Structure 1
């Protein structure tokens, strides 16, 4: 198949591209930065310059390429700005979907998140509503996710991957990134808020496998949602960081997510079924 990957140089895209190429697909990786073209080509894909915020440009690019599948991995995380990330989810997704429809694209696979559900006492399944009543500043993120998922669903054959918190190479939880720095500086507190994680390789594998999956929305998370009182000490220990400060409390939406649907209905099996082993392997 001819596959167009938007967000091809992100932490998932860099792992996904060679997997797609190895599987025998013709892969075109999109970037807005000319300096990233060599990175894309080194991963075995063709590269193209395009701006997700340029609707006419996106239409021309996809009309010229005529891909069979669009994989949407667009994010804007370099400045840690929820507003920037929401903007690309709203405007960038809108432009990508409109261009895909005009190019006759048959299928789209899109990145979403698994911590957008409304508050609750147990890990959320995909049937749980998103947190539409979220107060600010969380509302910014939720509005972006709602807009993204609604736009993607306009293409009948679509798979929405609600990823857990990513860890592994190139993520915020990498040894050289922001969460590790917080742990090493005793700034990462262990609370009762529950998180669901997924290793970045498992996230990329899910996007690859989704080429053959039927339309649906799936939580792509590992098997063990856990409160910070459990996972933060394990993460700190893997970094050889000081034991974290324990602080009671947590937000109602910090409930984690269930991967039962992805496992039982779609046959997804994470290589890293729990963060307990995954942290130590990722940080070794």
Structure 2
């Protein structure tokens, strides 16, 4: 297939692109900057420079292009978000960028659209010990606060666009917290560097928080599987087999890479300086990947975050 990939120059996008190319597909990568275009050329990807939030410019940029399928993996995150405002640009890409990209997908003649999503689309909070499947928990319910609602609107709109764009078969991949080898200092490389500088504290293990995790390479192979074998209108959990707290994950990174142990701070310190991070750290969600295993014939190469971190050495 010839695949139009939005967000191709980002850390996740480059893993997706690499997996697609390894599987014999051709990638046309959308990026917002000339620097991103240069990186894509180095990766063997045909670049198209366009901003998803500029509808007219986007449609001009893809004029004359043809593609069989498309992937929307664009975000605006350059570092872990602390405040709700750190998510503003990514929220806009999920709402307005998704709508504009859907028009571009139709313009290039693509028949299949895979969109990147996350477990946080179920909401920020404590879901207890029950295991969430794609059908037993409401997707993107109203947020408890205006700030949380803005984030959930992004997840809600992005999937709605994927599933309801005329002439397009939409599929959503709901990832866990992403980690793994980065490009240009992204991914877990950036976390390890912060640990070396003693610039990344953790909260106490007594804080109830547990997240599903997804290795970036597993995210890439799942994207290929969804394009090749996904069921139109379906959402899939692309997560590993074990949830774990951010504290456990970061401490294992420090142990594995031999960095100084991260300082432990009380949770109450986080809320005033990082209210989004506070919601992140206190969310408890356990997701099943059984549907992806059964329908996509996909399984994580790294079943737990420990396996994935050890492979980074």
State whether TM-score is above 0.5. Answer: yes
* Structure-2 separation of matches of 1:185 and 1:61: 41
Counterpart for residue 220 of structure 1: 238
Matches within 5 A, 1:1-284: 1-78=1-78, 80=81, 81-118=86-123, 119=125, 120-121=127-128, 122-127=130-135, 128-136=137-145, 137-155=147-165, 156-170=168-182, 174-177=188-191, 180-181=194-195, 184-185=198-199, 187-189=201-203, 190=205, 191-212=207-228, 213-215=230-232, 216-228=234-246, 230-240=248-258, 241-242=260-261, 245=264, 253-282=283-312, 284=313
Task: Tell me, in whole angstroms, the C-alpha distance in 1 between the residues paired with 2:32 and 2:16.
Answer: 18
CA RMSD of aligned residues (A): 2.6
Compute the displacement of 1:75 (Å): 0.4
Aligned 8 A contact 1:114 1:256 in 2:
no
* Structure 2: gaps spanning 5 or more residues: 269-277
CA distance 1:35–1:246, shift in 2 (3 Å): closer
2:19–2:224: 8 Å Cα contact kept in structure 1? yes
Shift of 1:180: 4.4
- 8 Å Cα contact 1:192-1:229 kept in structure 2: no
Deviations 1:80-117 (A, max 9, x none): 41111101111111100122224432000110001221
Asked if structure 1 preserves the Cα contact closer than 8 Å seen for 2:162 and 2:169, the reply is: no
Q: CA offset at residue 265 of structure 1? A: 2.7
Taking structure 2 as the reference length, the TM-score comes to 0.81
Aligned pair in 2 of structure 1 residues 32, 182: CA closer, same or farther (>3 Å)? same
Count of residues in Structure 1 that have an aligned counterpart in Structure 2: 283
Moved more, 71-80 or 130-139: 130-139
Alpha-carbon distance in 1 for matches of 2:193, 2:243 = 18
**Structure with higher helix content:** 2
Rounded Cα–Cα distance in structure 2 between residues aligned with 1:141 and 1:275: 26
Extract unaligned runs of 5+ from structure 1: none
Partner of 2:271: none
The alpha-carbon deviation at position 232 of structure 1 amounts to 4.5
TM-score of the pair, normalised by structure 1: 0.88
> What secondary structure is seen at the aligned counterpart in 2 of 1:169?
coil
1:53-97 CA-to-partner distances (Å, cap 9, x unmatched) read 121222233341121111111101026411111011111111001
